[in-house]
Structure 1
Amino acid sequence: MTQKRTIPITCPGINRFIRPTVSYVKCHICGGDVEIWSDEETGVCLNCGAEWRPPEKEASCLEYCEYAEKCRELIREIKS
């Protein structure tokens, strides 16, 4: 029997990394849908395969918080 992994309670700043959500934008090449996950920096068009990057990187508490290294370790552990 497999053991269910529990996700610890964390600050809301890392939710997009440990509980990613999907959104869609229009492809700049063909107008198709590009699937982009909140924990990824790029997306790929589902129609033509073109890569999409957001115009500006979204700010993250991992860049300035004094507990950022602990959160990075937690993210690595959850994703492994």
Structure 2
Amino acid sequence: MTFPDARPIHGDTAHISVGTTLLVFTSSITCQGVLEGGRGFVELTLSDADPEQRRLLERSTNCQWDLRRGGGILYFSPEQEPTQLR
């Protein structure tokens, strides 16, 4: 899928793969392309997560995720550092 632009994409589910663990977040979720210092990255804004899920994301070095709405995939990320998730 193409890199999202600065216009937010709204979904209802995000699947985040951290190693062999799959975290599933459901609620209002936003994905948006951000340019910072000449580099582009995608910012995923999650709803309040289970504290254990947040700790797992904070301890991981790489993750991959997708944003969905109504069961369809809106965006599938390349592998990235989880620091770009907030």
TM-score between both structures, scaled by the size of structure 1: 0.31
Higher relative contact order, structure no. (Cα contacts within 8 Å, ≥ 6 residues apart)? 2
Greater strand content: 2
TM-score between both structures, scaled by the size of structure 2: 0.30
Greater helix content: 1
Larger C-alpha radius of gyration, 1 or 2? 1
